[in-house]
Amino acid sequence: MLGYDDKRNFFRMMVNSPCQLQVTDDESSRTMQAMCRDISATGMSLEVDEPAIEVGTQISVAIESSSSQIPSLAALANVVRCEPESESSCIIGVEITQMK
């Protein structure tokens, strides 16, 4: 029997890379630092120093490359999942809607 991870359309690559988020929600637009835990062709998992970010929130993600052989990443994404990590942080799953 196939496990959940085997049913994905794209493999996830573990990256553990710092990134910058621009969060746009009903309350405000703000910039924050986050940690990209993994990435695939259509989404990524990010650890954020906030207790929660509402599902459906649109964000802009920028990951700077430290290598001249790998380009930096800039994308628009929607939050599809938010799981508490601690009292002051959460892990969000985002679906990439547009590459910049």
3-7, 50-54, 88-92: the lowest-pLDDT one: 3-7
Q: What is residue 28's predicted lDDT score, i.e. its pLDDT?
A: 76
pLDDT in tens, 19-70: 999 998 777 789 999 999 999 989 999 999 999 999 999 999 999 988 888 8
The stretches of the chain forming alpha helices (DSSP H) are none
Q: CA 75 to CA 54: how far, in whole Å?
A: 19
Q: What is the domain partition of the chain in residue ranges?
A: 11-97
Q: CA 84 to CA 62: how far, in whole Å?
A: 23
Give me the residue label for tokens 């998992």: 45
Q: What confidence tier does 10 reach under pLDDT thresholds 50, 70, 90? A: low
Task: State whether residue 87 is helix, strand or coil.
Answer: coil
- The pTM of this model reads 0.84
Considering only the C-alpha atoms of the chain, give the largest distance between any 2 of them, rounded to a whole number of Å. 45
Q: What is residue 6's predicted lDDT score, i.e. its pLDDT?
A: 52
Give residues with Cβ within 8 angstroms of 67, minimum separation 6: none
Pick one of 3.40.50.720, 2.40.170.20, 2.40.10.220, 1.10.3720.10 as the CATH number of 11-97.
2.40.10.220
